[in-house]
Amino acid sequence: MVSNGALDLRIPSDVQHIEGLVEQVVRRCAEHRFAGRQLALNVPVALTEALSNAILRGNGDASGKEVRVRAEFVDGRVVLEVEDEGGGFDLAECTGDPTTPENLEREDGRGLFLMQALMDRVERLSGPANVVRLTLIRR
């Protein structure tokens, strides 16, 4: 953890660790006076999706791997970065529309859609690490 109000955390690649990490980030967002809906909906759901993708897809649900999460608070916004050990993916190619009649009854396919709907910005950073960056403006 760094001292300027930011968080830098690592968890084992196991979905059982998601809820506790999300709680920590939501608590920090509350300290930065994010709105109630952002604390109850936007941040926890979008971050859970990003962590779930990192653990199950990026890291292939393999034990022994890790996921790193950084949260920084800059100019009234939170920037969340979720890093896994996988090879990355094409955000646009992988994001479908689960609201179409043919997709509505599918069990999967809502994760990236929800991230995009609940965050102001979603990016995948190219480079040596596979990072998804979520940005939310405080309202």
Would you tell me which residues interact with another protein (CB under 8 A)? 15-16, 18-19, 37, 40-41, 44-45, 48-49, 52, 56, 98-99, 104-111, 113-114, 117-118
Measured from the CB of residue 109, what is the shortest distance to another protein in angstroms?
Answer: 8
> Which is nearest to 128 in space by CA: 90, 97, 83?
83
Work out the angle between the directed axes of helices 43-53 and 111-118 (0-180°, nearest 10): 140
Residue number, 7 or 47, with CB nearest to another protein? 47
d(CA 22, CA 41) in angstroms, rounded, equals 11
Residue number, 74 or 137, with CB nearest to another protein? 137
3-state class (DSSP) for residue 89: coil
Measured from the CB of residue 100, what is the shortest distance to another protein in angstroms?
Answer: 9
Contact 59/85 with Cβ under 8 angstroms? yes
Residue number, 35 or 74, with CB nearest to another protein? 35
Measured from the CB of residue 82, what is the shortest distance to another protein in angstroms?
Answer: 14
Residue 72 forms beta bridges with which residues? 79
d(CA 8, CA 100) in angstroms, rounded, equals 38
Measured from the CB of residue 112, what is the shortest distance to another protein in angstroms?
Answer: 9
Residue number, 88 or 98, with CB nearest to another protein? 98
